[in-house]
Amino acid sequence: MSTTVLRKDSSAPTPPAPAGPPEGPRARGGAVALLGQIALYALLAVVALAVLLPFIWMLISSVKDDRDVFTVPIQWIPEEFKWENFATIWTRVPFAAYLGNSFFLSIVITFLQVLTGSFAAYGFAKMRFPGRDLLFTGYIATIAVPWQAYMVPQYVIMQKFGLVNSYTSLILLQAFGAFGVFLMRQFYLTIPDEISEAARLDGLTEYGIWARIVLPLSKPALASLALLTFVNTWNDYMGPFIYLTDNRLWTVQLGLRAFIGQYDAESAMIMTGSVLSLAPVLAVFLLGQRYFVRGIATTGVKG
């Protein structure tokens, strides 16, 4: 399992060109290698810039005047910076309420997903009992089933229990997902069984082993799962879109979408809202970047 995919080699210096004699094939090879490196850098820099261009454009547009967003040619540096966009948007839409709702949902769902997921994963990874593997296959299989295929029955169940248009429905739908179980199990499998065996001999119960040995050992995996779940919930559009009809319950994503429909012409303001909706995710991402990548890389490791 790779833990530092994004960061690996970051400190490793570029290998120096071979310090051979100034002439001869070796030096020429070094020069070619150096040119190759420069070309590679140039290529990567251009591609990276192209990939980030939508964000750059969004940031710039968010502090423009509406009529300056679509000028021909594009103004990469606005004539005047309208920082007040970031102040006025709060009065145009209940953005603060949307942000609060998103935070509430993301935090509750993340907490439950990590708690029940890591608990169940212990049963799947460290206990042996009849029916375990069959059950786990069931979990895995549903990951491959598209959500849209069972979205209607889910909705019917929620309707029967009167949970449509409430946070309870979204929390229930997302807190017990198979993904958390899968991810945590992948990590637990890397913890040697000798450790829990020794704890068992010392008289610890299985619950004790989970709480006092396995959980502390799996902090990085817990962080990965927590970050992935938080960002996924924060960014989720479809779930809230189906279940939350009441404006007061809306999340940032729904608010942003509605704002676009309502104020179609206010391009700059829409970009301001987009920047605000991304800011928490960006902060979480930069804080826990290596956990993110670890979590994603873990899902690709067979177990």
Partner 1 sequence: MSVDAPTATQHAPGGASAAHQAAAKRRRRRNLLVGWSFILPNFLGFAALTLVPVIGALAISFTHWDSYSTPKWAGLDNFQRLWDDSNFWAALRNTLYYAAGHIPLTLVVALGLAVLLNQKLRGVHVLRTAFFFPYITSLVAVAVVWNMLLSPESGPVNQFLTFLGVDHPPGWTSSQDWAMPALIVTSVWRDMGYYMVLFLAGLQTVPAELYEAARMDGAGAWQRFWHVTLPGLRPTTFFVTVMITVSSFKVFDLVQVMTEGGPGRSTLVLSQLIFREGITQGRFGYASAVSLVLFLICLVITVIQFRMQRRSER
Segment 127 to 166, residues that bind partner 1, using CB under 8 A: 127-132, 135, 138-139, 142, 144-157, 159
Chosen residue from 99, 109, 173, 244 binding partner 1 by CB under 8 A: 173
Site residues (CB under 8 A) for partner 1, limited to 4-23: 5-10, 12-15
Quote the least distance from Cβ 31 to partner 1, whole Å. 17
Quote the least distance from Cβ 118 to partner 1, whole Å. 9
Q: Can residue 201 be called a binding residue for partner 1 (CB under 8 A)? A: no
Quote the least distance from Cβ 103 to partner 1, whole Å. 14
- Number of residues interacting with partner 1: please give it, by CB under 8 A: 107
Quote the least distance from Cβ 293 to partner 1, whole Å. 6
Radius of gyration over every alpha carbon of the chain, rounded to an integer in angstroms: 25
User: Residue 90 carries which side chain, given as an amino acid letter?
Assistant: W
CB atoms within 10 A of CB 143: 12
Our CB check for partner 1 shows the closer of 22 and 192 to be 192
Helices (H), 63-146: 85-92, 95-126, 132-144
CA 10, CA 124: separation in Å to the nearest integer? 36
CA 187, CA 199: separation in Å to the nearest integer? 19
Which helix (H) or strand (E) element contains residue 287? helix 267-287
Q: Which of the stretches 22-30, 85-93, 215-223, 278-286 binds partner 1 when contact is defined by CB under 8 A? A: 278-286
Site residues (CB under 8 A) for partner 1, limited to 221-240: 231, 234-235, 237-238
Site residues (CB under 8 A) for partner 1, limited to 24-53: 37, 40-41, 43-44, 47-48, 51-53
Site residues (CB under 8 A) for partner 1, limited to 246-265: 252-253, 256-257, 260
DSSP 12-69: SPPPPPP---SSSHHHHHHHHHHHHHHHHHHHHHHHHHHHHHHHHHHHHHHTS-GGGT
Cα–Cα nearest to 189, from 43, 303, 299, 288: 303
Site residues (CB under 8 A) for partner 1, limited to 86-105: none
Chosen residue from 27, 168, 199, 206 binding partner 1 by CB under 8 A: 206
As a residue count, the chain comes to 303
